[in-house]
Amino acid sequence: MADAERPQLYLVTPPDFALDSFPDRLAAVLDGADVACLRLALATGDEDRVARAADALREVAHARDVALVIEKHVLLVERLGLDGVHLTDGARSMRKVRKDLGQDAIVGTFCGATRHEGINAAEAGADYVTFGPVGATPLGDGTVAGRDLFEWWSEMIEVPVVAEGALTPALVESLAPVTDFFCIGEEIWREGDALVALRRLLAPLG
């Protein structure tokens, strides 16, 4: 449940990146910020490419005690020695995935801006639920997960909640008291110095 403590950081990779340079960029961010979890979220369906990326990022993340989860590819979690999976279908496959991966794996899911979906996911065994986007973006249908959703969740539900999508310093300041994690990706990777961009985004947290 969210409280007055500073929310933890959850990073997500770009949908595409160069294996010869991104692990070093990632390492610089992890060395300069306290990150709890990293999500590998490649857009490609090339299993070999995903596996090579996972191997490279696992080495960087685990050397710094950062958990590494993969987006959607449930069957690759154990094979690649990852810590868990991030689902994108709300509660729909949560119960089965939890059973398949066991209680020790991290299993979280994206629930859009739907309270009902989040509750179902939590009841089915989710370690966390993600709501978003929290800011305005041309992607999707324009639905935004508002502060009231996070406020309600943090008061009523024990399962940790993650704020994700189109974060700005103003949104960080607004949501900090009512979220457990900020999930940050494109907001920093599109900048030349991702660590500087991260610190600028999180500046309201002090």
pLDDT at residue 4, as a whole number: 52
The total of other beta-carbon atoms located within 10 Å of residue 143's CB is 11
- The verdict on residue 2 lying in a domain is no
Report residue 109 as tokens. 């899911």
Number of domains in the chain: 1
- The verdict on residue 74 lying in a domain is yes
- Are 40 and 68 contacting, i.e. CB atoms less than 8 angstroms apart? yes
- The verdict on residue 65 lying in a domain is yes
Predicted TM-score (pTM) of the model is 0.96
**Could you give the C-alpha distances from 48 to 19, 53, 145, in angstroms and in order?**
13, 9, 35
Asked if the model's pLDDT at residue 1 lies above 50, the reply is: no
Query: pLDDT tens digit string along 135-193?
Result: 999 877 889 999 999 999 999 999 999 999 999 999 999 999 999 999 999 999 999 99
- The verdict on residue 80 lying in a domain is yes
Alpha carbon distance 43, 180 (integer Å): 27
- The verdict on residue 62 lying in a domain is yes
**Which segment of 3-17, 121-135, 142-156 scores lowest on mean pLDDT?**
3-17
Residues 82/153/167/40 CA torsion (nearest 10 deg): 10
CATH number, position 116: 3.20.20.70
Residue in 20, 64, 69 with CA at minimum distance from that of residue 41: 69
- The verdict on residue 153 lying in a domain is yes
- CA atoms 64, 109, 112, 51: torsion sign: positive
Strands 67-71 and 128-131 turn out to be unpaired
- The verdict on residue 1 lying in a domain is no
- The verdict on residue 3 lying in a domain is no
DSSP states along 61-121: HHTTT-EEEEES-TTHHHHTT-SEEEESSTTTTHHHHHHHH-TTSEEEEE-TT-HHHHHHH
In b/e form, how buried is each residue of 86-111, taking b as 16+ CB within 10 angstroms? Answer: bbeebbebbeebbeebeeebbbbbbb
pLDDT at residue 2, as a whole number: 44
Query: pLDDT tens digit string along 67-105?
Result: 999 999 999 999 999 999 999 999 999 999 999 999 999
Domain range holding 76?
8-205
